[in-house]
Structure 1
Amino acid sequence: MNLEQLERIRTGKGFIAALDQSGGSTPKALLLYGVKENSYANEEEMYVLVHEMRTRIIKSSAFNAEYILGAILFENTMDRKIDGEYTADYLWKQKGIVPFLKVDKGLADLSDGVQLMKPMPNLNDLLKRAVDRNIFGTKMRSFIKEANRNGIKKVVDQQFEVGKQIIEMGLVPIIEPEVDINSEDKEAIEKILKEELLTKLSTLGENEKVILKVSIPSVTNFYSDLLEDSHVIRIVALSGGYSQMDANQKLALNQGLIASFSRALAEGLTFSQSNEEFDSMLAKSIKGIYEASVNK
């Protein structure tokens, strides 16, 4: 583990950018960017286009360590290069931004009111490659739709089981049990979720550290006590379908919670913009998300 990166994530002012749209969500991300599905003939052409989009974001003067602590990458992005350097190396060496990797393979079907992560039979091989590529930590997402304690417990158990495997490889896992922002039971879900998270955190060893990634809670500062847990390096929030404006407003109310936005970060960016227009829009978004993360 890179101790300089650990200290930056633990104490730095800023937020984590999520640039980790995977195979299933890439067409939508490209469409929002103004690239239609008929612009590419196959998956490889699609991944080339999305890497160009991510490269444009990362190389922008607006995307810098003054505002951004870390960036979450998709596996395909980790294996590609920017200006001759692997993406993670470019982020850290050229930008001072800590690289993370999305490791889950998507969501299983809905059961007990939740969607667990699909099996990851090749996770160890991926983690070894991540270490070789100088990745600092990982991210994996589950999804909770109902206040079903059995289902929520399964989500948290699976997250921490995989998290331990990641910790053993010397990486820091981002535990992400997303709560459906449209659920009528959102507040009840979050109450159960926090109880299960506290239970699992109590089972970690002294040197086992995690980052928690949560939906912005219905009750302001609801996760504040989790920040006091010695195993929690940071708590970050996903935008979860909120517009950038709504996500920023809700985030700003929660002390200690910083952003890890994906779609809300890229809101308003399009393929057809000039570099000046693109950088200006990205700078405006980054500064807004930073303010909501840091200046409470």
Structure 2
Amino acid sequence: MNTEEMTAKIAKGKGFIAALDQSGGSTPKALRGYGVEDSEWSGDDEMFGKIHEMRSRVITSPSFSNGKVIGAILFERTMDGQVDGKPTAEALKERGVVPFIKIDQGLADEENGVQLMNPLTKLDALLEKSVAQGMFGTKERSVIKSANAEGIAAVVAQQFEVGNRVIDAGLMPILEPEYDITADDRAEGEEILKAEILKNLDNLPDDRQVMLKLSIPKKANLYKELVDHPKVLSVVALSGGYLTDEACAELEKNNGMIASFSRAMLQDLRAQQSDEEFDATLGNAINSICAASST
């Protein structure tokens, strides 16, 4: 797939985007959930080797290439690795899956009810490498924990600032200002978030587009205006800690949003499953998530 074909695939949204981008801090937990105990690896290299085995098994599973997964977000080490003897991005595109790369370097300490992204000291080099490896886009995460207007404005401003650097490099940015779904004031805060995103979209040149990755809103269809915005290629939803059934039920209430789930897609997969059991389990999750993304 070339860039034009990948853009069209994402714009049509007939499927969902798999999040396969757990990094250092979340990898041990992800491995335990998969049935790989801490005692089975030692040091970062072995840990990342184990998680790459899991991701490779997902990508090469027949159900992953059934057309319902239209994109996948990768961690840098996954992008640098190989799947089925080929660079990961190439292996994905051969399966009709558009590759994205996680570019943030973790979260700063909470201030004004939010966690901004840490300074992106490696961004230019990572973008250059990502372009060379044939990636289509990027993903960057920050977190909102309360309806603090100053904090939310800072999060959105930072997201768009980095997004513009990504566009300058020739890639499509997924901006991810995640709203903590456990926050008591989420409904109020999500209204502030939408207003800030719309303000920043208005300041984007007409020839630029971004993608948005947002928590499933408390008020159904709150983000429909963003879904329909000409400067937004697609709005995708993160599962935010919901289990698969909960995440799918909430997503179905929001027309035009498609899923970009991690935990909700991978939660029932185990290293000990046979290839047939693994593929059937993955296929069931993919079918459920895809159905919820088709509203």
TM-score, normalised relative to structure 1: 0.98
State whether residues 58 and 91 of structure 1, in contact with CA within 8 Å, keep that contact through their aligned partners in structure 2. Answer: yes
Runs of 4+, deviation exceeding 4 Å: none
* CA distance in 2: counterparts of 1:86 and 1:265, whole angstroms: 23
Residue 86 (structure 1) aligns with: 87
Summarize the Cα distance change of 1:241–1:12 in structure 2 as closer, same or farther, 3 Å threshold. closer
After superposition, the C-alpha distances for 1:210-260 in whole angstroms (9 at most, x for unaligned) are 100000000000000112211100000000001111000000111001000
User: Aligned partner of 2:249: which letter?
Assistant: Q
User: Aligned partner of 1:158: which letter?
Assistant: Q
Residue 61 (structure 1) aligns with: 62
Residue 41 (structure 1) aligns with: 42
Summarize the Cα distance change of 1:12–1:191 in structure 2 as closer, same or farther, 3 Å threshold. closer
Gaps of 5+ in 1: none
User: Aligned partner of 1:221: which letter?
Assistant: N
Q: Secondary structure at the match of 1:3?
A: helix
Residue 131 in 1 paired to residue 131 in 2?
Answer: yes
State whether residues 65 and 97 of structure 1, in contact with CA within 8 Å, keep that contact through their aligned partners in structure 2. Answer: no
* CA distance in 1: counterparts of 2:13 and 2:284, whole angstroms: 20
Q: Secondary structure at the match of 2:18?
A: strand
Summarize the Cα distance change of 1:12–1:145 in structure 2 as closer, same or farther, 3 Å threshold. closer
* CA distance in 1: counterparts of 2:141 and 2:250, whole angstroms: 21
User: Aligned partner of 2:126: which letter?
Assistant: L
Residue 2 in 1 paired to residue 15 in 2?
Answer: no
* CA distance in 2: counterparts of 1:122 and 1:177, whole angstroms: 20
Query: Shift of residue 65 of structure 1?
Result: 4.7
Residue 72 (structure 1) aligns with: 73
Residue 188 in 1 paired to residue 188 in 2?
Answer: yes
Q: Secondary structure at the match of 2:62?
A: coil
Residue 261 (structure 2) aligns with: 261
Query: Shift of residue 12 of structure 1?
Result: 3.8
Q: Secondary structure at the match of 1:164?
A: helix
* CA distance in 1: counterparts of 2:106 and 2:230, whole angstroms: 30
1:115-130 to 2 correspondences below 5 Å: 115-130=115-130
* CA distance in 1: counterparts of 2:63 and 2:228, whole angstroms: 32
Q: Secondary structure at the match of 1:138?
A: strand
Percent identity reads: 50
* CA distance in 2: counterparts of 1:245 and 1:227, whole angstroms: 23
* CA distance in 2: counterparts of 1:62 and 1:96, whole angstroms: 12
TM-score, normalised relative to structure 2: 0.98
CA-atom RMSD, angstroms? 0.8
Gaps of 5+ in 2: none
* CA distance in 2: counterparts of 1:104 and 1:38, whole angstroms: 29
* CA distance in 2: counterparts of 1:279 and 1:39, whole angstroms: 23
